[in-house]
């Protein structure tokens, strides 16, 4: 069973390892440009300084196998972000299991609970994985010269959305703890 939770700052190496395992085409689809190992390492190192939350899916060995960055774009007149942009990646061996959709849905809740009004994704139009998720979630998609921007308006946060995020995080921490114990005692 895979668990999804927010990635801690001390776990950024696991995120870096995940991105480094992506092949050249997947890196191109994720970042919209050709990107080498050094650029990935620099990208991950800036995460602790940015206004971002990284949601990660872990396997039973606690390796990151899929991830979703939620970047908050702050309004200059407020401490709250009006817009959140996402970047999603799923390793080839993990596709077709719904991880991308689950990460996307968790990212929606995270953004909503931080008072974000517009949730957006920029991707290459040929990124069928991201285009499928955007369409399935009713996002408005605009395409121009091979690039697409998908947006959706978010409802205001409420007790239900806050509880959903808290329960998801709590259950993931329990599952990760169980996996750590299994890995230590039952190798």
Residues 48-95: tens digit of each pLDDT:
556 899 999 999 888 999 999 999 987 777 777 889 999 999 999 999
- DSSP characters for 34-75? ---HHHHHHHHHTTTTSSEEEEEEE-TT--EEEEEEEEEEE-
Quick: pLDDT tens for 161-187. Answer: 999 999 988 888 888 788 778 777 766
**Mean pLDDT over all residues of the chain?**
90
- CATH superfamily ID and name for 3-182: Gcn5-related N-acetyltransferase (GNAT) (3.40.630.30)
pTM of the model: 0.88
99-112 and 159-185 helices cross at what angle (nearest 10)? 130
More confident residue, 116 or 2: 116
pLDDT at 157: 94
């Amino acid at each position: 069973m895979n668990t999804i939770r927010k990635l801690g700052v001390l776990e950024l190496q696991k995120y870096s390892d995940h991105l480094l395992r992506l092949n050249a085409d997947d890196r191109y689809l994720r970042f919209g440009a050709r990107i080498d190992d050094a650029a990935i390492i620099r990208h991950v190192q800036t995460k602790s300084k940015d206004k971002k939350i990284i949601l990660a899916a872990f396997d039973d060995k606690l390796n990151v196998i899929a991830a979703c960055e939620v970047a908050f774009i702050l309004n200059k007149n407020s401490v709250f972000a009006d817009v959140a942009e996402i970047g999603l990646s799923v390793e080839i061996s993990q596709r077709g299991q719904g991880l991308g959709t689950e990460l996307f849905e968790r990212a929606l809740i995270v953004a909503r609970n931080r008072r974000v009004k517009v949730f957006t994704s920029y991707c290459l139009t040929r990124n069928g994985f991201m285009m499928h998720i955007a369409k399935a979630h009713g996002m408005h998609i605009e395409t121009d010269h091979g690039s697409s921007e998908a947006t959706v308006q978010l409802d205001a946060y409420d007790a239900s959305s806050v509880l959903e995020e808290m329960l998801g995080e709590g259950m993931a921490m329990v599952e990760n703890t169980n996996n750590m114990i299994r890995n230590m005692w039952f190798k």
